Amino acid sequence: MLKSSTDAIASNPPITVGDLNYMLTKVCHSYLNKQLDKNYQAYNDIIGALECCKLEMYRRSIVPYEDNKIKENGDV
């Protein structure tokens, strides 16, 4: 199921930041709707997953970008 979902997103990726926000919110709500108990733990799990996603994006994409810019322009 995850493969088909990610393939669908890859074939129709969000264009604007609003689209991205909408897509991520829909995914989080879909996850929440599958949980038997909509309790603090379920909400906390979503926030934790989003935080880890943010950190992974930073580590894999932003750090190399910043390192390249330091080489091009010098450090601060």
* pLDDT of 1 strictly over 90: no
Token pair in block for residue 9: 């997103």
Give the pLDDT of residue 4.
83
List, in order, residues 6 or more apart from 46 with CB less than 8 Å away. Answer: 28, 31, 32
Task: Copy the structure tokens of residue 50.
Answer: 């989003």
Phi, psi of 63 (to 5 degrees): -60, -50
Over the Cα atoms of the chain, what is R_g? 17
Q: Using one digit for the tens of pLDDT, what is the confidence trace for 34-74?
A: 999 999 999 999 999 999 999 999 999 999 999 999 999 99
Measure the CA–CA gap between 40 and 4, rounded to whole angstroms.
Answer: 29
- Listed by start position, the domains of the chain span 1-32, 35-76
**pTM for the whole thing?**
0.80
